[in-house]
């Protein structure tokens, strides 16, 4: 057995109504069912979704304030006023800034751009920056991806004669800045039909409105910002990102080409994963580690040599970011485990002096993934007593809403239901912790602390073909709101398994079902290889893709979770290193069973902290409980094994070593004719010096010495002969007895049968042999439950 790490939530469509879509659109059953489950139940709307290139792009002037913004920017350009673009330091802010730079260049405006330093200025507009802009002659500020909460900063700008146009997409606070105009589709009263644009999306709408045509040449930059900011890829976001990915694929811009090169993106097709996991993190790294300016310089560069230099800089910053993140995560995990154990804290708040505010959000995400609790990670400035941090939350706990209840402790904060940024006094951390713990106790249930996987559908291996997966790709681009489909494969045999990667921290499996095969790769799931065995009947959840290697293409599953519902047999009969297994299992729920006293003594002396039992010491009334059972050596009989395992409950894994140094399986058991011959021989001789002539007799007869010795023991035990000092003397009138009355004879036959069934059986034969009494003893845990999709 291997329990899944998550709850698998799967909606089973028993109506099969999707089959009408399959017929109407001439598509595969997989694509039809996915469309149906995602709400596209009519052929016309489903067909539109499959043809993303025909999706919506809304009129920018539907956004409240757009006409006012266009009028003011045109006025500034006509009057040769100086404009300042005020951006943000994440990938969306950098992209938004780049779009606005590109736009104002095309409009031949007099402008400059500015992105605050995360470390010295913090998030959002600030008054000193506005003062410098005014001193340098600016009369108009356009914020991008920021500003919606900048009430005092905008008031100060107004007082110094600066007009401020805010373009943002974050959740508006109760009080809005008194700006010249605010462009934010989430602003109360805004009738724009789609609310989920990123900052880059709002900037693109401004460009569309000012240029009078749709700016396709900016879609590559828009896509970097939108995908990186994890906004829903629905409606016009999906349409524009689809075109933007094509634009990124064919872009000749030196900055884009340099970025793709440094990311190792080969070929002509850029997908959303390339943006989300390679391009976006490098753009983000600049603002996280130093200043975001190098990332902007990269994206606006028209010089290939200069672009390569900027790309090298941000790649170096990204490597530095990875190192810092790993170090901070280790420290944060230690703080959680030592001071705020998750089993006692439904919300985790950790902080430390010196933690870089640039990567705190990443650390918060890692802690949330590890402990599955709402998390706040804070970097504390001891000189000012200020703490800056990031929050990440779980399903069921709206972190923005819950933090909003403590505005008195948070002079600066903003975000959305799953993430937030905040600034507070370090002295107020305990109070905030107490409040959030109380709020969580009123909001979350125990079930909320187990992560769930929303599984789209069950599939059989025979359904998975290259053509069917190519068709599923038509549902892309995938992201928030339109996630990559998660598929479950059930009742598949693990045909092979191995750890891969330089650190052996990934797993590669091959699943089999009848004549069908499916390769499976699990990144950072290498530890699963120790918990499953080949031949186990498994179920798995993951994302499907097409693996291409040397011109050969075949389906592949990227593993998210794995489960084995039955107990597992780990066949260690050819493994002489029982110590390695016991060391691995030392911190797990494990018992070791021995049948030979010398094995028991040896293991007891080496593994004092492991529960080791000699089978004869387990009483009739004793019940043992263990997840893992190690069978160290060979029992004398099958019944011995049955008796001891019948006393063990809750078995999930059995490690069968069955060590046996004196095997009899390959020794020929003397036949009745052999016994007759030997007895006749002894009777004729009356006495025989077995010690002196036994081996010679065996050699002359063509028998193994074991056979002669064995028959001697049987005759002695049955009283047919006497044996003194190696001299055999035949009894004149022995009592008539059958050979089967000999304990030695029976023990030999039992041992031979035991070796045959336990040592020399196939894996499936051994599993079946043990299965009957293990399954029977686990019957109390085997009741059908509607959990995890099984």
pLDDT in tens, 329-347: 999 999 999 999 999 999 9
pLDDT band at residue 644 under the 50/70/90 scheme: very high
Q: b/e string for 717-747 if b means 16 or more Cβ within 10 A?
A: bbebbebeeeebebeeeeeeeeeeebebbee
* Top-confidence residue, 107 or 660: 107
Query: CA nearest 521: which of 549, 562, 557, 548?
Result: 557
Where does 60-316 sit in CATH, by number?
A: 3.90.1640.30
Q: Are strands 419-425 and 457-459 parallel, antiparallel or unpaired?
A: unpaired
CATH architecture, domain defined by 569-664+760-781: 3-Layer(aba) Sandwich (3.40)
Specify the pLDDT at position 662: 83
Give yes or no for a cis peptide into 477 (omega within 30° of 0): yes
Specify the pLDDT at position 551: 83
Residue 541 predicted with pLDDT over 70: yes
Residue 298 predicted with pLDDT over 50: yes
pLDDT band at residue 780 under the 50/70/90 scheme: very low
Distance between CA atoms of residues 284 and 322, nearest Å: 12
Residue 329, Cβ neighbours under 10 Å: how many?
19
**146 within 8 A of 92, measured Cβ to Cβ:** no
> Would the pTM of this model clear 0.85, i.e. be above it?
no
Phi first, then psi, for residue 669 (nearest 5°) are: -80, 125
Residue 778 predicted with pLDDT over 70: no
Q: What is the pLDDT of residues 710-734, one digit of tens each?
A: 999 999 999 999 999 999 999 988 8
pLDDT band at residue 259 under the 50/70/90 scheme: very high
Q: What is the pLDDT of residues 384-432, one digit of tens each?
A: 999 999 999 999 999 999 999 999 999 988 888 899 999 999 999 999 9
Residues of the chain above pLDDT 70, percent: 98
Domains 340-452 and 672-751 in one fold? no
Give yes or no for a cis peptide into 185 (omega within 30° of 0): no
Specify the pLDDT at position 495: 95
Fold of 340-452: Diaminopimelate Epimerase; Chain A, domain 1 (3.10.310)
Specify the pLDDT at position 732: 87
Phi first, then psi, for residue 248 (nearest 5°) are: -65, -35
| Long-range contacts, stretch 152-159, CB < 8 angstroms, 24+ apart | 152/127, 153/124, 153/125, 153/126, 153/127, 153/177, 154/125, 154/178, 154/179, 156/127, 156/130, 157/125, 157/127, 157/130
Residue 783 predicted with pLDDT over 50: no
First to last CA, the chain: 13
- Cβ within 8 Å of residue 662, ≥6 positions away: none
Phi first, then psi, for residue 479 (nearest 5°) are: 175, -160
Angle (CA) 337 341 344, round 5°: 180
pLDDT band at residue 324 under the 50/70/90 scheme: very high
- Adjacent-strand bridge partners of 649: 625
Residue written as tokens 């007799």?
Answer: 697
Query: CA nearest 73: which of 8, 139, 29?
Result: 139
Where does 672-751 sit in CATH, by number?
A: 1.10.10
- Name the token pair of 99: 């779009």
Specify the pLDDT at position 788: 41
Q: What is the pLDDT of residues 659-670, one digit of tens each?
A: 998 888 888 889
Residue 789, Cβ neighbours under 10 Å: how many?
18
**444 within 8 A of 346, measured Cβ to Cβ:** yes
Class of the CATH domain delimited by 7-38+456-566: mainly beta
The pLDDT mean for the chain works out to: 93
Quick one: which H or E segment has residue 44?
helix 43-50
Hey, where are the domains in the chain? 7-38+456-566, 60-316, 340-452, 569-664+760-781, 672-751
- Name the token pair of 753: 């049968």
445-461: average pLDDT: 93
């Amino acid at each position: 057995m291997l329990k899944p790490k998550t709850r698998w939530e799967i909606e089973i469509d028993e109506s099969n109504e999707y089959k009408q879509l399959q017929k109407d659109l001439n598509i595969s059953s997989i694509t039809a069912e996915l469309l149906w489950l995602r709400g596209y139940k009519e052929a016309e709307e489903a067909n539109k979704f499959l043809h993303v290139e025909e999706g919506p792009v809304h009129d920018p002037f539907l956004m409240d304030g757009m006409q006012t913004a266009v009028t003011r920017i045109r006025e500034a350009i006509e009057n040769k006023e100086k404009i300042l673009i005020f951006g943000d330091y994440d990938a969306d802010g950098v992209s938004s800034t780049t779009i606005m730079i590109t736009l104002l260049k095309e409009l031949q405006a007099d402008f400059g751009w500015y992105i605050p330093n995360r470390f010295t200025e913090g998030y959002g507009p600030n008054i000193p920056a506005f003062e410098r802009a005014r001193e340098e002659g600016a009369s108009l500020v356009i914020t991008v991806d920021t500003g919606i909460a900048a009430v005092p900063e905008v008031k100060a700008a107004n007082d110094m004669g600066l007009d401020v146009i805010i373009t943002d997409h974050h959740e508006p606070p109760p009080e809005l800045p008194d700006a010249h105009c605010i462009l934010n589709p989430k602003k109360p009263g805004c009738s724009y039909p789609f609310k989920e644009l990123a900052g880059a999306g709002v900037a693109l709408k401004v460009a569309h409105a000012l240029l009078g045509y749709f700016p396709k040449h900016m879609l590559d930059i828009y896509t970097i910002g939108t995908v990186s900011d994890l906004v829903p890829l629905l409606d016009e976001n999906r349409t524009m990102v689809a075109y933007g990915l094509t634009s990124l694929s064919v872009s000749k811009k030196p900055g884009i080409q340099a970025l793709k090169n440094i990311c190792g993106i080969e070929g002509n097709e850029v997908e959303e994963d390339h943006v989300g996991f390679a391009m976006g993190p490098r753009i983000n790294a600049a603002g996280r580690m130093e200043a975001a300016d190098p990332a902007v310089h990269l994206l606006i560069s028209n010089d290939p040599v200069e672009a390569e230099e900027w790309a090298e800089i941000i790649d170096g910053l990204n490597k530095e970011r990875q190192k810092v993140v790993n170090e901070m995560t280790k420290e944060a995990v230690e703080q959680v485990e030592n001071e705020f154990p998750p089993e006692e804290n439904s919300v985790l708040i950790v902080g430390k002096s010196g933690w870089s505010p640039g990567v705190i959000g990443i650390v918060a995400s890692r802690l949330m993934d590890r402990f599955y609790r709402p998390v706040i990670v804070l970097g504390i400035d001891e000189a000012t007593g200020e703490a800056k941090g990031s929050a990440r939350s779980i399903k069921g706990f709206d972190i923005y809403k819950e933090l909003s209840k403590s505005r008195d402790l948070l002079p600066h904060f903003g975000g959305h239901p799953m993430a937030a940024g905040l600034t507070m006094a370090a002295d107020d951390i305990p109070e905030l912790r107490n409040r959030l713990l109380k709020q969580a106790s009123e909001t979350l249930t125990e079930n909320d602390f187990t992560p769930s996987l929303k599984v789209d559908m069950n599939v059989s291996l025979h359904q998975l073909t290259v053509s069917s997966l190519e068709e599923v790709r038509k549902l892309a681009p995938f992201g928030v709101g339109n996630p990559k489909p998660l598929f479950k494969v059930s009742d598949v045999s693990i045909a092979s398994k191995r750890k891969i990667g330089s650190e052996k921290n990934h797993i590669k499996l091959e699943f089999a079902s009848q004549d069908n095969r499916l390769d499976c790769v699990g990144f950072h799931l290498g530890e699963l290889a120790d918990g499953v065995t080949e031949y186990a009947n498994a179920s798995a959840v993951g994302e499907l893709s097409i693996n291409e290697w040397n011109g050969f293409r075949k389906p592949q599953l990227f593993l998210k979770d794995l489960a084995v519902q039955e107990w597992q047999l780990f066949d260690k009969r050819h493994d002489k290193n029982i110590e390695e297994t016991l060391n691995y299992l030392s911190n797990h729920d494990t018992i070791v069973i021995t049948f030979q006293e010398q094995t028991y003594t040896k293991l007891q002396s080496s593994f004092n902290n492991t529960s080791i039992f000699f089978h004869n010491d387990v009483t009739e009334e004793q019940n043992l409980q263990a997840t893992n059972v190690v069978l160290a050596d060979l029992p004398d009989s099958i019944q011995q094994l049955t008796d001891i395992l019948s006393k063990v409950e809750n078995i999930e894994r059995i490690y069968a070593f069955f060590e046996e140094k004196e095997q009899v399986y390959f020794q020929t058991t003397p036949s009745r004719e052999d016994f007759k011959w030997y007895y006749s021989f002894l009777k004729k001789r009356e006495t025989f010096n077995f010690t002196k002539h036994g081996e010679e007799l065996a050699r002359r007869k063509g028998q193994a010495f074991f056979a002669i010795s064995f028959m001697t023991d049987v005759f002695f035990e049955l009283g047919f002969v006497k044996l003194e000092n190696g001299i055999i003397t035949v009894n004149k009138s022995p009592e008539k007895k059958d050979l089967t009355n000999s304990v030695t004879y029976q023990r030999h036959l039992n041992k031979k049968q035991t070796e045959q069934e336990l040592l020399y059986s196939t894996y499936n034969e051994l599993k079946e042999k043990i299965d009957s009494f293990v399954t029977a003893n686990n019957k109390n845990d085997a009741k059908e439950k509607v959990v995890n999709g099984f």
